[in-house]
Structure 1
Amino acid sequence: MTNSKTLTERRNNNRLFRRLALVTVAIVYLLIMVGGIVRSTGAGMGCPDWPKCFGSWVPPTEESQLPLNYKEIYGAKLKGEVEFNAVKTWTEYVNRLFGAFTGLMIFATLLASIPFLRSDKAIFYLSLLTFLLVGFQGWLGAKVVSSELLPVMITLHMLLAIVIVFILLYVLARSYVGTIQVEAVQNKPKINRLLIVVLVLSLAQVLIGTQVREAMDLVIDDLGYSARNQWIDALGATFYIHRSFSIIIVGTNAWLYYWIYKYSAGHGPIRMLAKSIMAIIAVEILTGVVMAYLAVPALSQPLHLTFAVAMLGAQFVLYLFLNAEIVFRTSAHSELKVV
């Protein structure tokens, strides 16, 4: 009876952790999109100080709530835009609030991972690492503000977000060990080699995209936000490299999709992930076309970035499930087994 009760409790704890981890991953992706909205709307310095906003925990809604000499106090940090803009201020402030909420969700995921100390310690310690990295991400966010949106700092901020997503996806996938069945796949070494190439190329494309975004920041400084229809033409070679490289991304992922369907048996997580990757790439291309030919609508940039990170995440999880016996290897005393 005791063993049956313990097993039930363990299953309930595992189920709670999986739900929290899944929601947390979704929230981190939303945070990436919200951050992209902040950047694409030029609201990054909407709050010129950190952690407060214009010296207050609740930012002002109109200029009359600010000190009379606020232009002198914050003028340098506002990068010349000394006129108060409530929309930009609250856009940045909501981004910060959402970031704090994300931190709370990751802390809740960490608490939910404590029962895994008895069955799979890696899940707990990686959840702890994620929580610590989120704290570091908050500190890095402060440095982004203090550096007045230095492009290198923004890129590092985004790369750390990708690392956090990958760790969360790993612990989430690992928590499913023994509960789902992965279809059999032949020629795994061949597919693995291609998948690693695809991951490297996709990450390179994302990094090139950050360079395009940094170049766009310089264009925006010169032309302003009212000249969106001129941004793309002013970007130069980096944009065309990024656009041309997308052909390689589509081709290699389509090749991977073909191999998975050729060598896998049945319809399981691996085929589902392969389909998801191609669907994400289709949306990614669509948002890129919208940016290039429709004067870079504000929402298109954050969507483009979010789907790029989603593509990387799906490719990473595909690698995990394809090599489940190796990457999810548990301790000798664990009851968990890869099905």
Structure 2
Amino acid sequence: MFILQLSLIGICIALIPLAWVWLRSGADRFGKLVWVTTILTFDLVLFGSFTRLTDSGLGCPDWPGCYGAASPFIAHQAIQAAQAALPSGPVTMAKAWIEMMHRYLALALGVLIIAQVVVAWCKRKTLPVSPWWPVALLILICVQGAFGAWTVTLKLQPIIVTIHLLLGLTLLGALARLALSCMPVVVPEPAASRWQPAVWIGLALLVVQIALGGWVSANYAVLACTDFPTCHGAWLPPMDFAQGFQLWRALGQTKAGDFITQDALVAIHWTHRNFAWVVSVWLLGLGLRLRQFKALLTLANGLLALVALQCLTGLANILLQWPLLMALVHNGGAALLLLLLIMLNYRIAISRQSVRHTAAKV
């Protein structure tokens, strides 16, 4: 019964953006639907970060409901009993609502993607994209939902939490790519096409850095080094990389079941911090180079600004002891960087296709 209630909640939330899209004038309702879904996905990624940063991931220790109910309001007795039994534990009424709001938004996102599938196949002869795109997105969000369930049932196992984050950003990026395909684009100068490999490398470096950041967050290693630019007063502090990057283990434990050491947490933090220099230098150089193209100037400036923002918020997280707002901005900045690089890659790919088309005519 509560599964039906959860579904109705997701549908009701999804009806708000669906109604907005339907009431908009113009023929390109599918493109508007994809953009609205992309925005909701970005919001969901941020809310997922908020859920993790507020330690609300186990606010409802079962899945998909909360103590077998569709909302914390219905399950309030079980929540209060759990909180009374373990006041410092992960279950409180506030955390339960945060966790369930995250699930409600995920359900609404699933409804919007199902709507995309229906519209895409009904209008497949007139759409500029393949109807299989939304189908692939639907499969992806189902996989993402499975990892969301395992995040809870496996008690925030770091590798599951990290994969859950990466899948969420993959969904965000795929939706953004689909949205770009549904709208006209300004074609950059032909010379911009030679920078596509550099953009791809930048995107790959960013994905690695996001994965490292997810691993830091999943292992609560943000404050493993609280000084800068050194760590515990040393450029190369004692570190245990083997234990720190042991993937399949419980939160806070080694594979053998012992408590994870401080040296392992330092290794996790140190790797993310120092790889950030590699990513920043590459993206800053790329942004400066791409500013020469008028059609890419806004995106290039955005790239420079976001890299600067990420460096500042990353440093602030260390020096200010991981404030919630700064951590959220840092997470959101990473997602925006991903979107921006996808947009750059798409525009440069259009430029390369234009060059090839011109060469073929000659």
Bin for the TM-score computed over the shorter chain: 0.7 to 0.9
Equivalent residue, structure 1, for 2:50: 37
Equivalent residue, structure 1, for 2:17: none
Q: Is the 8 A contact 1:31 1:98 kept in 2?
A: yes
What SS does the aligned partner of 1:246 have? helix
Q: Which of 133, 158, 167 is equivalent to 2:165?
A: 158
1:124: Cα distance to partner? 1.8
Q: Which of 74, 83, 107 is equivalent to 1:100?
A: 107
Question: In structure 2, how many angstroms separate the alpha carbons of the residues matched to 1:38 and 1:159?
Answer: 16
User: Could you tell me the TM-score, scaled by structure 2's length?
Assistant: 0.72
Q: Which of 110, 128, 138 is equivalent to 2:135?
A: 128
Q: Is the 8 A contact 2:288 2:304 kept in 1?
A: no
Question: In structure 2, how many angstroms separate the alpha carbons of the residues matched to 1:171 and 1:235?
Answer: 38
1:279 matched to 2:308 = no
Equivalent residue, structure 2, for 1:172: 179
Question: In structure 1, how many angstroms separate the alpha carbons of the residues matched to 2:138 and 2:78?
Answer: 35
When residues 67 and 47 of structure 1 are mapped into structure 2, their CA distance, relative to the original with a 3 A threshold, is closer
Equivalent residue, structure 1, for 2:345: 319
1:140 matched to 2:136 = no
1:111: Cα distance to partner? 3.4
Q: Which of 189, 206, 209 is equivalent to 2:213?
A: 209
When residues 118 and 151 of structure 1 are mapped into structure 2, their CA distance, relative to the original with a 3 A threshold, is same
Question: In structure 2, how many angstroms separate the alpha carbons of the residues matched to 1:306 and 1:233?
Answer: 29
Gaps of 5+ in 1: 1-10, 223-231, 329-339
Q: Which of 11, 18, 22 is equivalent to 2:31?
A: 18
Question: In structure 1, how many angstroms separate the alpha carbons of the residues matched to 2:79 and 2:175?
Answer: 43
1:249 matched to 2:279 = yes
Question: In structure 2, how many angstroms separate the alpha carbons of the residues matched to 1:83 and 1:125?
Answer: 41
User: Could you tell me the TM-score, scaled by structure 1's length?
Assistant: 0.77
Question: In structure 1, how many angstroms separate the alpha carbons of the residues matched to 2:74 and 2:313?
Answer: 33
Report the residue type matching 2:338 in the other structure: L
1:58 matched to 2:58 = no
When residues 242 and 284 of structure 1 are mapped into structure 2, their CA distance, relative to the original with a 3 A threshold, is same
Equivalent residue, structure 1, for 2:288: 258
1:138: Cα distance to partner? 1.5
Q: Is the 8 A contact 1:123 1:174 kept in 2?
A: no
Report the residue type matching 2:49 in the other structure: G
Question: In structure 2, how many angstroms separate the alpha carbons of the residues matched to 1:169 and 1:324?
Answer: 15
Fraction of identical pairs, as percent: 23
Equivalent residue, structure 2, for 1:8: none
Question: In structure 2, how many angstroms separate the alpha carbons of the residues matched to 1:67 and 1:255?
Answer: 51
Question: In structure 2, how many angstroms separate the alpha carbons of the residues matched to 1:83 and 1:276?
Answer: 38
Q: Is the 8 A contact 2:206 2:279 kept in 1?
A: yes
1:84: Cα distance to partner? 4.8
1:239: Cα distance to partner? 1.6
Question: In structure 2, how many angstroms separate the alpha carbons of the residues matched to 1:139 and 1:130?
Answer: 14
1:139: Cα distance to partner? 2.1
Question: In structure 2, how many angstroms separate the alpha carbons of the residues matched to 1:67 and 1:256?
Answer: 50
Cα deviation 1:105-136 (Å, max 9, x = unaligned) = 22233334335511457442111211222122
RMSD: 3.2
Cα deviation 1:196-228 (Å, max 9, x = unaligned) = 221121111111112212331698987xxxxxx
Q: Is the 8 A contact 2:60 2:96 kept in 1?
A: yes
Q: Which of 185, 192, 195 is equivalent to 2:196?
A: 192
Gaps of 5+ in 2: 1-24, 225-250, 253-261, 355-362
